[in-house]
Structure 1
Amino acid sequence: MKLEGCAAVVTGGASGLGEATARALAEQGVKVALFDLNAERGEQVASEIGGIFCQVNVTDEASVDAGFAKARAAHGQERILVNCAGTGNAIKTASRARDTGEIRHFPIDQFDRIIQINLVGTFRCIAKAAAGMLTLDPMEDGERGAIVNTASVAAEDGQAGQAAYSASKGGIVGMTLPIARDLMGDGIRVNTILPGIFNTPLMNGAPQHVKDALAASVPFPKRLGNAPEYASLAVEMCRNSYFNGEDVRLDGAIRMSPR
C-alpha cells in the first residue's frame, strides 16, 4: 500500500507504542488522528506531527463514533487503523492472603474491565473502521485498507496473575484470521503484533533493578524493546500488501516464565 496521503487512526496514540506508531506514520506522509483519553498529551503529540487529536474512550460506543466522525471530517476516510489502546492488571484467579489467610478470588468486574478495554474496544474500532473502508475506491491489488492490532506475548505464555490480560490479548490473536477472512473480498488486510517486554510508560514506574532483571531474561538482544521498533513493524504491516492474517511476536525470542 502506498502510505503517503492516506488517512490513519491510531488508538492509544498519545503515548508508548501508539505514539511511536503515529509519529512513524506521519513521517511517511500519512494524515494521523490520535484516539486517546489523555487530552493534554494527545493534543501535544498531534500538534508535533501535524495530526488531529480525538478524545476517545474505546469502551464507549458514542465516544468511538464521535472520534471517527471528527477524524474523517478533518482527514477523510481512514485507510489505516492501528489499535494500541489497552491496559492490564495482575490479580490471581484465587489466592490466600499471607497475613490473614483470607481466601479471595479475582473480582469479576475487574476481569470484565480488561476484556472491555483490550478486546471489545479493539473489535469495536475494527468494525467501525472496516465499515468506513468499504466506502473507499480500491487501490493497487484491489486494496482498500490495512488494520494492525496489538496483542501481547501474554496471549501465548501469560504469567501468574495475568488471566484477564492474557484472555483479552488471546482474543485479539484469535480473531485476527477470521476478521481478515471476513474482509478479504473487499481488500482490507488485518494483522496483529504480539510485543514482548517494551520500554513504555507502563514500565516507567518499575524500579531499575526490576527493569534490569526483565532485560536480562530476553535471549537477544538483552534489553527491553523500544517503541519505534514496534512502530517499524506496524508501518511495514501497512505498507506490505502481502502481509495479511498474521500474528507476529516481537519479543527478542523471550518465552515468559510462570512468574
Structure 2
Amino acid sequence: MFRAIMSRIKQGHRTMPYPAAPLQMPERFRGYPVVSTPTGTAECHDASAECPYGAFTATGGGCLDMGKCLFCAECPAGNIQFTTDYQLAVTGREQLLVRPGSEHHHARPLSPDLLRMFGRSLKFREVSAGGCNACEADTNVLSTIGWDLGRFGIQFVASPRHADGLWITGPASKNMAQALLTTYEAIPAPKIVVACGACAINGGPYIDSPQVCNGADNLIPVDLYIPGCPPHPATILDGLLRILDRLR
C-alpha cells in the first residue's frame, strides 16, 4: 500500500491544465480557415468545381463551409489557409460559413434555464448514425486521463433515459434514421443535441448520397455543431465548455 502511494506521488498530476492554460497545437494541425479575396475569378471558380463535397464556392468573393469541409488542405485555390486555431464549434449552422474578412464565431452559452440544469452535470447518449468510428474515437479520447472530461461534470451514459442530450456522429444514414429519432424521443425534455463531425453536420464525404440524410439537423434540431473530419478532442472540448459558459 505504501509503495502504491509513493508511486502515485512520483507520477504527479497527469491531467492537462487546459482550460486554465492554453493548448499549443502542432504546426501541421489544420484549424480555423482564413479565406482571402481571390486574385482571379477563374481560379476561384476552379476551386468550387474541384471540391467534391461543395465546401468552397465562389459566391461573394469566396466562401468555405466548415460544415462540409473535410480539412484536407487540398483546395486548388490559393486563397484558403488553415491556421492552428482549434476553436471551431458554433451554435448556428450559418456560423460555419467563412468568407473573406468574416467574423470568427464561437459557440454561445446555453440559455440561463438550461445552464442552471446542465451547468454542473451534463450527460450524453451517443448514437453513431452510420459513422466510420473516427469521430467516435476522438470523442472517447476525452475520457482518458490526460483530458478527463468527467472533471467538468460531462459524461456519456448507456441509456437515453439517463441523458440530458443526444450526441450524434455519422451522416445520419437512412438505416439509422429511425434509431436516431427513437433515441431523441426517449431523452427527457429539456434536452440538447450535438452534431459532431462533418458527417453529422452535412453528410461529410457521403453528401447527397441517397442513403444518407445530409446531416442530423434534417431530422432533429441541433444545438451545437462541431466541424472536422474528425474534429480534434480540443475542438470538441472547446465547444462543450463554451455552451456551459466555462470559457470567455
TM-score, normalising length: structure 2: 0.25
Q: Which has the larger radius of gyration?
A: 2
Judging by fraction of residues, say which structure has more helix: 1
